[in-house]
Amino acid sequence: MKRVAKVLAVLAVASLASAQQQQTPASQSSPANQQKNAPANPAPTPPQGKRLPQAKTQAEFEAYKTATAATADAATMEKAADDFAAKFPESELRVLLYRAAMHGYQNANNGDKMSTMAEAVLKLDPDDPEALIGEAEVLVERTRDTDLDKDQRWGRAQQYAQHSLETIDTDVVIPAGTPQERVDAYKNLMRSSAYSILGALALNQDKFSDAEGYFRKSIDAYPAQPDPVVVLRLAIALDKQEKYADGLKQANRAVELTQDGTVAGKLARQERDRLVQLTGGIPATPAPAGNNPPTH
């Protein structure tokens, strides 16, 4: 969750700022004004996704600006979103505020509240890929084999993750002026997250071949920053299929990406040691202290 949160939270703040800069209440957006303010030779803008929500009145716009200033913490942002939604129940801007609160809770690693905000976003926009991924991730990570409703929860998670893959290119709201390479990285990170969720679901259901495929897609979608947990889960999926040599390669990689003493690091080393015993292979030597990438 943390790897995604860092990128998405930054773009959430950028979206709020971009919305403030671009908002023009309907009363001020007449064709005459648009023609007057248009540049003489506008540069073509490549499609970035869904259009930014707009305010209909100046009062709505001013209330939105006040709400976006409430960014001290996720709880404050949530209350600001609720207050705004109560005052402007038909406003398009509600989704931006609830999405910002969702990212705030995601960044704080508060899965329960993140899920609540994701549901609030999806009520307003059922195609929002960020909320779909966020809710699917919480459902997967917080559902246990002993839960009586596990099949229903896993089914919802699969539906949300798959739908996010259908809407990433069409329904992401990108702040104006965002460089294309950042847009591509953002979308690829979301794809990586969606495939990771589908892989975890398959692994939980003992569909090890499917899990392997999804985890490989997750890593390939965002190779610049492989998620150590995904690499570890890939090793486990390979292990379960008795693909021990390939599993050891991935376990060694998971060890290299983690630090001993962390939860992921301990599990990666346990899996590596198991596969070393099964194959007679050689464990990887972790990178020197201080050179390791951030761990989960």
7, 83: one domain: yes
Asked if residue 187 is part of any domain, the answer here is yes
Task: Identify the domain boundary among 200, 218, 253.
Answer: 200
155, 87: one domain: no
Name the domain count of the chain: 3
Asked if residue 220 is part of any domain, the answer here is no
Statement: residue 94 has pLDDT above 70 = yes
Q: Which residue has the tokens 């398009």?
A: 92
Asked if residue 219 is part of any domain, the answer here is no
Element (H, E) at 191: helix 180-204
Return all residues near 90 (Cβ < 8 A) that are at least 6 apart.
Answer: none
List the structure tokens of 163. 């739908």
Asked if residue 66 is part of any domain, the answer here is yes
Domain with 234 in it: 226-296
Asked if residue 193 is part of any domain, the answer here is yes
156, 80: one domain: no
Asked if residue 49 is part of any domain, the answer here is no
1, 70: one domain: yes
290, 179: one domain: no
Q: Is-contact 132 161, C-beta < 8 A?
A: yes
5, 118: one domain: yes
Say what the pLDDT of residue 282 is. 67
276, 292: one domain: yes
Binned at pLDDT 50, 70 and 90, residue 51 comes out as confident
Say what the pLDDT of residue 4 is. 53
Q: In the chain, how many H helices and how many E strands?
A: 13, 0
- The residue ranking higher by pLDDT, 282 or 290, is 282
* 193-233 per-position pLDDT tens digit: 999 999 999 999 999 999 999 999 999 999 999 999 999 99
Q: How far apart are CA 233 and CA 217, in angstroms?
A: 13
Asked if residue 239 is part of any domain, the answer here is yes
Say what the pLDDT of residue 3 is. 54
Binned at pLDDT 50, 70 and 90, residue 31 comes out as very low
* 116-136 per-position pLDDT tens digit: 999 999 999 999 999 999 999
**Stated pTM of the model:** 0.81
Statement: residue 288 has pLDDT above 90 = no
Say what the pLDDT of residue 71 is. 75
246, 181: one domain: no
95, 163: one domain: no
84, 7: one domain: yes
68, 103: one domain: yes
Helix, strand and coil in the chain, % to nearest 5: 70, 0, 30
